[in-house]
Amino acid sequence: MADGIILERHGVPAVSVLTDAFVPSGDAMARTMGAEGYRYAVIPHPISNLTPEQCRERARSVLPDLLEILATGGVTAASTRTPGRARLPEEPAGLTAERVQDLRRIVEYDFERGWSDGLPVVPVTEATVRDFVGYVGRDPDQVLLRVDHLGTACTVRLAAVAAAMAGCAREHFPILLAVLDGFQPSVDTALLQSTSGQAVMVTVNGPIRRELGFNSGANVLGPGHRANAVVGRAIRLVVINALGIRSGEFDQSTQGTPGKYCLCIAENEEESPWEPLHVERGFPAEASVTTANFARGTLPVDNRSGTEPEQILLNIADTMSCATASRGCAVVMGPEHAHLIASRGWSKQDVRRFLWEHWGRRRGDLRRFGLLDGGSRLAAADASDDQFLRFAESPDAILLVVAGARNAGMTTIVPMIRPMFHSQVVQDPPRSGR
């Protein structure tokens, strides 16, 4: 895109060709280069797994657009301005140096008391907490989670404090409560303190994704979207401040995972070829639902050349099999992989069963890795090294979510120690709270 604009500005006829998945990026590049309105040709995505004849057909179909743009030019009169320089944001009205210093002192105060996750937190007042609690209409003293052996508990009020500190607006608070309402069985496993370093992964489904701006597309596992970031972060602040599980104290993670800062995504229901996760789990399509589970980290699967479902799924299953201590797994499948697989008639249930059947290792491999000691659940006397050992008890150990952009053949594996998935409806706030 940039090359096409530069060539045009030097008087060389040129035309850029984008697949439809990269149209937003193309428009953004044109704006960045001061060429808003730049004309380019678009072909369907993807192209990496097409046959030579299919590529030729794509080329034939776009040829009239190429010729038309070459004849008239891509850079219009309105798009020849010089690119602008980035400017610092303007300071809010009434902000003084003294107020900035007060804010910094509050932030440092929170750091000193260990109330932070390592990043600055938002200052919270009693009025803010009352506003959050009043919005959801819940008893502020209601216990949501407890860790009996530590004598700690998270109430609605403490959850509101964590949400506000994380940067939530009060509209995000019902999402956090839905996660906490259903997560006690996983807390009871003590995996929040595990040496394996469990994070909490949350998947959001239903209308609330769009209402609150949750990201389900490009960079779904990365930064840049408030709703995903603040809800995920609020969960960790609950763990730290309400449950008292802090790094270096009761959190015994050997290495941990960046997911402990934030691991909250939304399912890309619009680009999924299958029923949404919450519908698969028995909820109405119109309901807003959170699904929470532990997560040990993320493993990428980059397959842009496979043309058959079995090729893609064997690649995914092989990556799942790297996590030999995991008995559960979330598969965050990119829309490109999902559409290729579904176009051959595969259902979500077919996918999960195939992955389960190929998720494991030969006994001989595990023996070489030193993973067949007497205490291993996979150990057995007088067994053949060629025997294939599945790592999970059934396909139900796999959570399949479609998320991300439809711009490359990518899928992400999220292994977990135990396949425990907790889905809860997000409760609408009472009218008085709206």
Q: Which residues make beta-bridge pairs with 410? A: 302
Residue 365 reports pLDDT greater than 50:
yes
pLDDT grade for 376, boundaries at 50, 70 and 90: low
C-alpha closest to that of 202 among 215, 188, 189, 211: 215
Rounded average pLDDT over 251-257: 90
- Higher per-residue confidence, 73 vs 223: 223
- Shared-domain flag, residues 378 and 268: no
- Band the pLDDT of 77: cuts 50, 70, 90: very low
pLDDT (0 to 100) of residue 351: 98
User: How far, in whole angstroms, is CA 136 from its chain's centroid?
Assistant: 26
Residue 87 lies in a domain: no
The mean pLDDT of the chain is: 89
Strand, helix or coil for residue 386: coil
In this structure, the answer to whether residues 262 and 200 fall within a common structural domain is yes
- Its pTM stands at 0.83
Instruction: Indicate whether 216 and 279 sit together in one domain.
Output: yes
Rounded CA gap, 246 and 114, in Å?
8
In a domain, 93, yes or no: no
Whether 191 shows a pLDDT value over 80: the answer reads yes
Residue 383 lies in a domain: yes
Q: Do the domain assignments include residue 19?
A: yes
Question: Please, what is the end-to-end C-alpha distance for the chain in angstroms?
Answer: 45
pLDDT of residue 91: 65
Q: Is residue 203 part of a domain?
A: yes
- Per-residue pLDDT, 121: 95
Lowest-confidence segment of 14-28, 200-214, 419-433 by average pLDDT:
14-28
Count of domains in the chain? 3
pLDDT for res 381:
52
pLDDT category at 434 given cuts 50, 70, 90 is low
Tokens of 310: 């079995």
Is the model's pLDDT at 368 over the cut of 70?
yes
Let me know: does 349 contact 395? Beta carbons within 8 Å: yes
pLDDT surpassing 80 at residue 78: no
If you average pLDDT over residues 196-211, what whole number do you get?
96
Q: Which residues, 6 or more positions from 286, have their beta carbon under 8 angstroms from its beta carbon? A: 206, 207
**In terms of domains, do 61 and 170 share one?**
no
Do 401 and 337 contact (CB within 8 A), yes or no? no
pLDDT at 168: 98
pLDDT band for position 432 (50/70/90)? low
Q: What is the pLDDT of residue 382?
A: 60
Q: What is the mean pLDDT of residues 333-340?
A: 97
Reading the block at residue 413, the tokens are 């594996």
Which one, of 161, 163, 142, 164, lies nearest residue 153 by Cα?
142
Sign of CA dihedral 50, 53, 59, 64: negative
Q: Reply yes or no on whether the pLDDT at 86 is more than 50.
A: no
| Confidence class for position 74, pLDDT limits 50, 70, 90 | low
58 and 127 belong to one structural domain:
no
Q: How far apart are CA 203 and CA 401, in angstroms?
A: 8
Report the alpha-carbon distance of residue 409 to residue 199 in Å, rounded.
26
The percent of residues in the chain predicted with pLDDT above 70, rounded, is 92
Q: Is the pLDDT of residue 83 over 60?
A: no
Q: What is the pLDDT, as a whole number, of residue 214?
A: 98
Answer yes or no: is pLDDT of 363 > 50: yes
Where residue 85 falls among pLDDT bands split at 50, 70, 90?
Answer: very low
Looking at the fold, whether 332 and 380 belong to one and the same domain comes out as yes
Both 191 and 113 in one domain: the answer is: yes
Q: Please check the confidence at residue 384 and state whether its pLDDT lies above 90.
A: no
Q: Domain check: are 162 and 69 in the same one?
A: no
- Rounded CA separation 46/20 (Å): 9
Q: Check whether residue 236 and residue 341 sit in a common domain.
A: no
Q: Is the pLDDT of residue 84 over 80?
A: no
Residue-level pLDDT at 51: 79
Could you tell me if 67 and 124 lie in one domain? Answer: no
Query: How many C-beta neighbours within 10 Å does residue 314 have?
Result: 16
Q: How far apart are CA 202 and CA 423, in angstroms?
A: 9
- 317 alpha carbon, distance to own chain's centre: 20
pLDDT, tens digit (0-9, with 9 covering 90-100), for 220-251: 999 999 999 999 999 999 999 999 999 989 98
Is residue 198 classed as helix, strand or coil in its secondary structure? Answer: coil
Whether residue 116 is contained in a domain is answered as: yes
- Name the residue with higher pLDDT: 318 or 16: 318
Q: How far apart are CA 290 and CA 309, in angstroms?
A: 29
Say if residue 160 is in the same domain as residue 215.
yes
- In terms of residue numbers, what domain contains 224? 99-296+420-434
Residue 366 lies in a domain: yes
Is 212 within 8 Å of 171 (Cβ atoms)? yes
| Distance, CA of 44 to CA of 42 (rounded, Å) | 7
Contact criterion met (CB below 8 Å) for 410 and 337: yes
Residues 107 and 192 in one domain: yes
* Residues 393-416 pLDDT 10s: 999 999 999 999 998 999 999 999
Identify whether 92 is part of a domain: no
